[in-house]
Chain A
Amino acid sequence: MSEGTLYDKVWENHTVAELPTGQTQLFVGLHLIHEVTSPQAFGMLEERDMEVAYPELTHATVDHIVPTGDQSRPYVDEAAEEMMRALEQNAHAANIDLADPTTGRQGIVHVIGPEEGLTQPGMTIVCGDSHTSTHGAFGALAFGIGTSQIRDVLATQSIAMEKQHVRRIEVSGSLGKGVEAKDVILEIIRRLGTDGGVGYVYEYAGDVIESLDMEGRMSICNMSIEGGARAGYVNPDETTYAFLRETDRFRDDAAAFESLLPYWQSIRSDPDATYDDVVHIDGSELEPVVTWGTTPGQGVGITQPIPDPEALPADKRQSAREAQAHMRVTPGETMEGYEIDVAFLGSCTNARLPDLRRAAGIVEGRVVHPSVRALAVPGSQRVKAAAEAEGLDDIFTDAGFEWRGAGCSMCLGMNPDQLEGDEACASSSNRNFVGRQGSKDGRTVLMNPQMVAAAAIKGHVTDVRRLPEVVSV
């Protein structure tokens, strides 16, 4: 068993009791909720005549169903309107803070938690959403929970859990041009498999991770769940503290910041901590990774050939065959040249300001290919405002991108932004499952935001590092 890691320390100082089931009752420091998974939990609470125990530790927003175009109420989609109303009523009745679109603070739950400074090191954070692992970027223990567990948290501010193993993933070296945090995590999942992390929490470390900004660390922790790990984290450091200092929570409260700093430093993994497993990856060798299949683990470097299913381990063959038939790709070829119909820049993986900046850097002075529908969807209203303040919106719209309102958008088919028919999409999101983007014949190719921008320009998947220079006129 691991010892002296951040995970061990946070687990221990949040332990309430050992339960007769053999599980541990863990105190939850921050509970985030959104409109899709919370209403049933409130319903269950009501059935039992229970109240929300600690409403001040729960924060709500709306992201999955919110339209990114016309947001006037009532929403055109009646089901969406009903979900929004339920969230409003529940939040209001329980006195829970709700960042709805009228507040200017609304956005994807995993974007706004960090932005507001709600997300802090050494916390336990849960949300009824599997990408809650994102918040681990701050050195928090953060994971997705099911609806019964949301009920547990509302009623008791606790969850029942079994302790997991800790795997340290060290990414050494430095990333080359055009290679991003997204490529690091796609590579990790490609190597360890989509179930490689089952039973584990991932600790990401090494020079590459330490040199990433907070947004890059969030992209990595975000996709821990695609690698099978319910949680992943990075030990807090100067980069973390600098980010926190600028959040709503601490911007005008230096005293609170100073008083918490020693706690944050104390929960870092000890230099002599014991891990259940350690994996090394040389970050200098990485190139942009794109997926060729229908799971996030079916990825390949942009210059590398798509694998032959028959050459894969026996248990991977059938799903590779089916994936390649669905995606219509040919083993032996690279993904370069794979034609796309849609380019989606968004989601809780890659829709923060630096993601949009890097993508805009590629788009600037170029135009979107005429056969491509391109969407740039900021992760939150604040990201949107900040991007507009620097003129990124103009860069995108001048090039032919749609510049939309904040939300989950085309990451999943629960709002009007969806793939149609068998459209192929270059996407900066995290899941390429069949049907994920709203059409069961739709085809999703996951990649980093610069690669999405490059694909939008060329009309096909391409190596952003080899994009011809913009000739200024």
Chain B
Amino acid sequence: MSEGPAEPVTDVRGTGIPVRGNDIDTDQIIPARFMKVVSFDGLGQFAFFDQRFDDEDNQKEHPFNDERFQGASILVVNANFGCGSSREHAPQALMRWGIDAIVGESFAEIFAGNCLALGIPTVTTDEDTVRTLQDWIDDNPDASIDVDIAAERVSYDGTEIEVTVDESQRRALVDGVWDTTALMRSNAGTVREVAESLPYIELEG
């Protein structure tokens, strides 16, 4: 059992929220105009903003507006979620809204990487299983779902489904080594050696 520098994420528990549709890109998750900020704080309120509000700022129908799903932490999505621009504002907005784990059919690679950097697991399963889970959440918005990263299993209401967690993601989360900053900082001595070995580097002090 390796002791990592970050909090291990082995198991996430909470109520669910379904957001349906394939190819939901990061522009939909957080429109570019909300990127003109100096901090990620407060980005949560802008998650899916253009899907949630019309031009006159009236609420539209969207799970993130739905009373029943306020307080949910497990987002359940369909295929190719998070495609498009690499902006980290997207997972940041979701996380700050309250999302701790995402279950879906598939994820865009950079998006999944950005989630991992925040300790948010992105676990996958097949289309039918996802749909069944989404429908179940609609009927049971207050019921708890358990995402077990180590065992690659999602359980709800006595049902257990097998999910896939990318191997390096699983290791990173379970061993608590998803925090690359802490991980790489522990090699500070070697960093300096590499710096000194390179002819073009001039260090101060």
> Which of B183, B199, B202 lies in contact with A263, CB distance below 8 A?
B199
Kindly report which residue of chain B lies nearest to residue A83, judged by CB atoms: B38
Kindly report which residue of chain A lies nearest to residue B201, judged by CB atoms: A29
- In contact, A82 and B38 (Cβ under 8 angstroms): yes
CB-CB < 8 A to B199: which residues of A? Answer: 259-260, 263
Instruction: Tell me the chain B residues, 147-205 only, with Cβ under 8 Å from chain A.
Output: 167-168, 171-172, 175, 177-178, 180-181, 183-185, 187-188, 190-191, 194-195, 197-204
Q: How far is the CA of A146 from the CA of B114 in the complex (A)?
A: 8
* A130-153 interface bits toward B, Cβ cutoff 8 Å, 1 = contact, 0 = none: 100000000000001011110110
Chain B nearest Cβ from A57, distance in angstroms: 7
- In contact, A14 and B194 (Cβ under 8 angstroms): yes
- In contact, A21 and B37 (Cβ under 8 angstroms): no
- In contact, A20 and B195 (Cβ under 8 angstroms): no
B2 within 8 A of A: yes
B39 within 8 A of A: yes
From A130, A147, A159, A259, name the one whose CB has the most chain B CB atoms within 10 angstroms.
A147
Stretch at the interface among A36-44, A306-314, A348-356: A36-44
Chain B nearest Cβ from A209, distance in angstroms: 24
- In contact, A40 and B39 (Cβ under 8 angstroms): yes
Chain B nearest Cβ from A322, distance in angstroms: 12
Kindly report which residue of chain A lies nearest to residue B84, judged by CB atoms: A433
CB-CB < 8 A to B109: which residues of A? Answer: 198
Instruction: Tell me the chain A residues, 36-79 only, with Cβ under 8 Å from chain B.
Output: 36, 39-40, 43, 48, 50, 53-54, 56-57, 65, 79
From B36, B113, B187, B204, name the one whose CB has the most chain A CB atoms within 10 angstroms.
B36
CB-CB < 8 A to A22: which residues of B? Answer: 167-168, 171
- In contact, B177 and A19 (Cβ under 8 angstroms): yes
B110 within 8 A of A: yes
Given that A56-B204, A263-B200 are known contacts, is A20 also in contact with B118, CB under 8 Å in the complex? no
A235 within 8 A of B: no
A247 within 8 A of B: no
Q: Told that A53-B188, A147-B40 touch, could you supply 7 new A-B pairs with CB distance under 8 A?
A: A13-B198, A20-B183, A21-B172, A21-B177, A27-B194, A198-B109, A260-B199
Q: How far is the CA of A130 from the CA of B88 in the complex (A)?
A: 13
A120 within 8 A of B: yes
Instruction: State the interface size on chain B (CB cutoff 8 A).
Output: 46
Chain B nearest Cβ from A50, distance in angstroms: 8
Interface residues in chain B, defined as those with a beta carbon under 8 Å from any beta carbon in chain A: 2, 4, 27, 32, 35-40, 86-88, 92, 109-110, 113-114, 117-118, 167-168, 171-172, 175, 177-178, 180-181, 183-185, 187-188, 190-191, 194-195, 197-204
CB-CB < 8 A to B36: which residues of A? Answer: 36, 65, 79-80, 83, 414
Kindly report which residue of chain B lies nearest to residue A20, judged by CB atoms: B177
Chain A nearest Cβ from B150, distance in angstroms: 15
Instruction: Tell me the chain A residues, 214-270 only, with Cβ under 8 Å from chain B.
Output: 259-260, 263
CB-CB < 8 A to B178: which residues of A? Answer: 21
- In contact, A413 and B32 (Cβ under 8 angstroms): yes
- In contact, A19 and B39 (Cβ under 8 angstroms): no
CB-CB < 8 A to A53: which residues of B? Answer: 188, 191
Q: How far is the CA of A144 from the CA of B37 in the complex (A)?
A: 20
- In contact, A16 and B39 (Cβ under 8 angstroms): no
Chain A nearest Cβ from B87, distance in angstroms: 8
- In contact, B86 and A27 (Cβ under 8 angstroms): no
From B38, B114, B167, B197, name the one whose CB has the most chain A CB atoms within 10 angstroms.
B38
Chain A nearest Cβ from B90, distance in angstroms: 10
Q: How far is the CA of A308 from the CA of B185 in the complex (A)?
A: 54
CB-CB < 8 A to A36: which residues of B? Answer: 35-36
Instruction: State the interface size on chain A (CB cutoff 8 A).
Output: 53
A25 within 8 A of B: yes
- In contact, A130 and B181 (Cβ under 8 angstroms): no
Kindly report which residue of chain A lies nearest to residue B118, judged by CB atoms: A148
Q: How far is the CA of A160 from the CA of B87 in the complex (A)?
A: 18
CB-CB < 8 A to B39: which residues of A? Answer: 39-40, 43
Given that A21-B171, A146-B88 are known contacts, is A27 also in contact with B198, CB under 8 Å in the complex? yes
CB-CB < 8 A to B172: which residues of A? Answer: 20-21
From A20, A36, A79, A80, name the one whose CB has the most chain B CB atoms within 10 angstroms.
A20
> Which of A57, A149, A152 lies in contact with B201, CB distance below 8 A?
A57
A155 within 8 A of B: yes
> Which of A23, A25, A43 lies in contact with B187, CB distance below 8 A?
A25
Chain B nearest Cβ from A239, distance in angstroms: 19
From B37, B87, B167, name the one whose CB has the most chain A CB atoms within 10 angstroms.
B37
Q: How far is the CA of A19 from the CA of B113 in the complex (A)?
A: 15
CB-CB < 8 A to A148: which residues of B? Answer: 88, 114, 117-118, 180-181
From B114, B172, B191, name the one whose CB has the most chain A CB atoms within 10 angstroms.
B191
CB-CB < 8 A to A56: which residues of B? Answer: 202-204
Of all A-B residue pairs in the complex, the 4 with the closest CB atoms, nearest first, are: A148-B117, A39-B38, A86-B38, A156-B184
Chain B nearest Cβ from A390, distance in angstroms: 32
- In contact, A157 and B40 (Cβ under 8 angstroms): no
A174 within 8 A of B: no
CB-CB < 8 A to A43: which residues of B? Answer: 38-40
* A3-22 interface bits toward B, Cβ cutoff 8 Å, 1 = contact, 0 = none: 00000000001111101111
CB-CB < 8 A to A198: which residues of B? Answer: 109
- In contact, B86 and A20 (Cβ under 8 angstroms): no
> Which of B92, B118, B180, B195 lies in contact with A157, CB distance below 8 A?
B195
CB-CB < 8 A to B204: which residues of A? Answer: 56
